[in-house]
Amino acid sequence: MANTKLFRRLDLWGPLSNAVKAMPHPRAGGPTHLRVFSGGCATGREPYSIAMLLEHYCYRHDFTVTATDVDPDLIAQARTGVLTDGEVARALLREGILTRDMAERYLTRVDTATWQVKPRVLDRIDFTVADLNAPAGLIPDPCHLAFCANMWRHLNPDGRHALAAELGATMPDYGLLVIGPSDLYFGEDPNDPTGPLLHRPEFTVDMQERFRPHPRHPLMYRPRTDRERPAA
């Protein structure tokens, strides 16, 4: 079982929904349709969470999510939309993100052990098996919101370089990239002697030159506006 959960990283979702709401309004020339990417999505808990959040809070924009993982078994499981009672209960207990109102709207209780993600959420997500070491053509273009969380360490150095370049090339200036806590460090320990991932040479050029930290959350990044974009 891949390490993932519904609404992982409790404090992210409020700042994220505010940052999405701050994207240009469709009536002011902004996108009517947000294209979202979830790379290394495992069993789909991350794209389910994103889709529920956007459906619930960010209704100015229509949206679709492209979700990929290299493991076909995980993608097959993700496509089912089946959740255990334990994981839904844990998400509900962590007050303020998955509320009971959201659970009623977006999930159906199947039996005492199981819930099902409703079609209004699941149908927004296109699940694909893909290796992000070769990301060309996998990311929607334009990509307004990308989650590449807790997966960079699984890529080889060339793959990290290629993925950062592809994200930089597909995101508008107001786009948002979300990474995971384990992407900041290779080890669990912040004092890991291998050092922060973002400071490793193969990562620095791509991530730090293409993206800058978002002021509202340490895991959110924005494309730099003062750089030349690589040709699409």
Q: Smallest distance, Å, CB 48 to ligand SAM? A: 11
Q: Smallest distance, Å, CB 219 to ligand SAM? A: 10
Strands 107-111 and 125-129: unpaired
2 makes contact with ligand SAM (CB under 6 A): yes
Round the CA-based radius of gyration of the chain to a whole number and report it. Answer: 17
Residue span 52-71 as binding mask against ligand SAM, x where in contact by CB under 6 A, dash where not: -----------------xxx
Task: Find how far residue 157's CA is from the centre of its chain.
Answer: 21
Cβ-based nearer residue to ligand SAM, 17 or 229: 17
87 makes contact with ligand SAM (CB under 6 A): no
41 makes contact with ligand SAM (CB under 6 A): yes
Cβ-based nearer residue to ligand SAM, 198 or 224: 198
Whole-number Å distance between alpha carbons of 216 and 213: 9
209 makes contact with ligand SAM (CB under 6 A): no
74 makes contact with ligand SAM (CB under 6 A): yes
Q: Smallest distance, Å, CB 112 to ligand SAM? A: 26
Q: Smallest distance, Å, CB 65 to ligand SAM? A: 13
Cβ-based nearer residue to ligand SAM, 107 or 219: 219
> Across-strand partners of 176?
145
Among the listed ranges 91-99, 103-111, 115-123, 144-152, the one in contact with ligand SAM (CB under 6 A) is 144-152
Whole-number Å distance between alpha carbons of 137 and 135: 6
149 makes contact with ligand SAM (CB under 6 A): yes
Cβ-based nearer residue to ligand SAM, 25 or 94: 94
Task: Point out which residues bind ligand SAM (CB under 6 A).
Answer: 2-4, 8, 40-42, 46, 69-71, 74, 131-133, 149-151, 154-155, 180
